[in-house]
């Protein structure tokens, strides 16, 4: 069990440091809504702040900050509980939970500190923009993707074992 939590600590610390440093750099060096093209018609660094969840959900709600803080705390506690339940051999699942945990904590820090989340990664195809995101959001998405891969691999292993 100690190795799972050690891995969680290492992965989470690395992601949290990277997430918070990038957000501080963006906040200090960019004006709000300032954008710098990285790859023409595909990717830019654009400083925005998101008061809501994904795609700005609940951005104008009076309960948004307490709600998002509560959700992040419950999700983090659930991840820690789930991590305790799995075996040390489930490395991919441990990595995925660590990434999701780090992403949740990274955005939680912003919500507590600022009441909103700093986003700056702007993927787009010409004028068609995906909502801006950050390192914490990326960690969550990659973590969920790895969890899906782990579930798929487990399903294949179970079918072979029948």
Asked if 160 contacts 116 with a C-beta cutoff of 8 angstroms, the reply is no
The single residue of 19, 110, 122, 137 carrying the catalytic annotation is 137
The single residue of 110, 119, 122, 150 carrying the catalytic annotation is 119
DSSP code of 131?
P
Structure confidence by residue, pLDDT tens digits, 100-129: 999 999 999 999 999 899 999 999 999 898
Other Cβ atoms within 10 Å of 47 Cβ, number:
20
d(CA 68, CA 106): 12
Structure confidence by residue, pLDDT tens digits, 20-54: 999 999 999 999 999 999 999 999 999 999 886 66
Q: 124: buried, middle or exposed (CB in 10 Å: 19+, 13-18, 0-12)?
A: middle
- The answer to whether 60 is a known catalytic residue is no
């Amino acid at each position: 069990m100690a190795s799972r939590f050690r891995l969680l600590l290492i992965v989470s610390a690395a992601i949290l440091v990277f997430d918070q440093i990038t957000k501080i750099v963006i906040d200090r060096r960019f004006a709000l809504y300032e954008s710098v093209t990285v790859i023409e018609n595909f990717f830019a660094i654009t400083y925005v702040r998101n008061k809501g969840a994904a795609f700005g959900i609940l951005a104008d709600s009076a309960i948004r900050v307490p709600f998002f803080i509560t959700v992040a705390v419950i999700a983090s506690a659930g991840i820690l509980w789930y991590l305790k339940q799995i075996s040390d051999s489930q490395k991919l699942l441990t990595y995925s939970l660590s990434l999701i945990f780090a992403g949740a904590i990274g955005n939680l820090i912003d919500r507590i500190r600022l009441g909103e989340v700093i986003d700056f990664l702007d993927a787009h195809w010409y004028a068609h923009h995906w909502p801006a995101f950050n390192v914490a959001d990326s960690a969550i998405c990659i973590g969920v993707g790895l969890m899906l891969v782990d579930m798929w691999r487990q399903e294949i292993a179970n079918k072979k074992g029948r």
